[in-house]
A and B are shown apart, each in its own frame.
Chain A
Amino acid sequence: MEFVSSDLQRRLRGAPFYAMLVAATVITLVPIIWVFASALKSNKEIRENALALPQEWRFQNYVDAWFGASFDQYFFNSIFITVTSVAIVLFLSSLAAYSFAKMRFRGNQMIFFVFLIGMAFPLSAKLGPLLSLMYELNLANSRIGLILVYVAGSLPFAILMLRAFFQGFPQELEDSAALDGCSRFQFYLRILLPLSKPSLMALGIFVFMGTWNEFFQALLLINEDAKRTLPLGLNAFQDEYFTDFALSFAGINITAVPVIIVYIMFQRNLIEGITVGSVK
Chain B
Amino acid sequence: MAQSLTGPGGRAASPRFRPDLMPYLFILPAVVIYLVFNLGPVLASFVLSFFKWDLLTPTAEFNGFKHYNFILNDERFWGALSHNFIFLGLAVVIPVSIGLLLAVFIYEIRRGRVFFRAALFLPAIFSGVVIAYVWKWIYHPFAGVLNPALELVGLGAFTQSWLGDHKIALYSTFIAYTWASFGYSMVIFLAGLQDIPTDIFDAARVDGANFRQKLFRVTIPCLYDVFTFVVTLRIFTAMGVFGVIYILTGGGPYYSSDVIDIYVFRMIGNFEMGWATAAATVNTMIVVCLSTGFIKWREWRSWSS
Chain A interfacial positions (CB closer than 8 Å to B): 10, 13-14, 17-18, 20-21, 24-25, 28-29, 31-32, 34-35, 38, 46-47, 49-51, 92-93, 95-96, 98-100, 103-106, 108, 111, 114-115, 117-118, 120-133, 135, 148-149, 151-153, 155-156, 159, 175, 178-179, 181, 184, 188, 209, 212-216, 219-220, 230-232, 234-235, 238, 245, 248-249, 252, 255-256, 259-260, 263-264, 267, 270-271, 274-275, 277-279
- How many B residues touch A, CB cutoff 8 Å? 100
Residues of B within 8 A of A178 (CB): 8-9, 11
- Whether A121 and B122, one on each chain, are in contact in the complex, defined by CB atoms closer than 8 angstroms, is no
When chains A and B are docked, how far (Å) is the Cα of A179 from the Cα of B10? 10
**Contact residues of A: prevailing secondary structure:** helix
Q: Is the CB of B291 within 8 A of A120?
A: yes
Out of A122, A252, A264, name the residue touching B240 (CB < 8 Å). A122
Contact between A92 and B56, CB atoms less than 8 A apart: no
Q: Which residues in B have some Cβ–Cβ distance to A below 8 Å?
A: 7-9, 11-12, 19-20, 22-24, 26-27, 29-31, 33-34, 36-42, 44-45, 48, 56-58, 98, 101-102, 105-106, 108-110, 112, 116-123, 125-130, 133-135, 137-138, 140, 142-145, 148-149, 152, 179, 184, 187-188, 191-192, 195, 225-226, 229-230, 236, 239-240, 242-243, 246-247, 260-261, 264-265, 268, 273, 276-277, 280-281, 283-284, 287-288, 291-292
**Contact in complex: A135, B56 (CB < 8 Å):** yes
State the majority secondary structure of interface residues on B: helix
Task: Please list 7 pairs of residues, one from A and one from B, whose beta carbons are closer than 8 Å in the complex, sorted by A's number.
Answer: A51-B152, A93-B30, A128-B276, A130-B41, A219-B246, A260-B125, A275-B191
A125 touching B281, Cβ below 8 Å = yes
- Judging by beta carbons under 8 Å apart, are A21 and B105 in contact? yes
CA distance A148 to B142 in the complex (A): 42
> With the chains together, A96 CA to B34 CA distance in Å?
12
Indicate whether A51 sits within 8 Å of B280 (C-beta atoms), given known contacts A24-B102, A111-B27, A214-B127. Answer: no
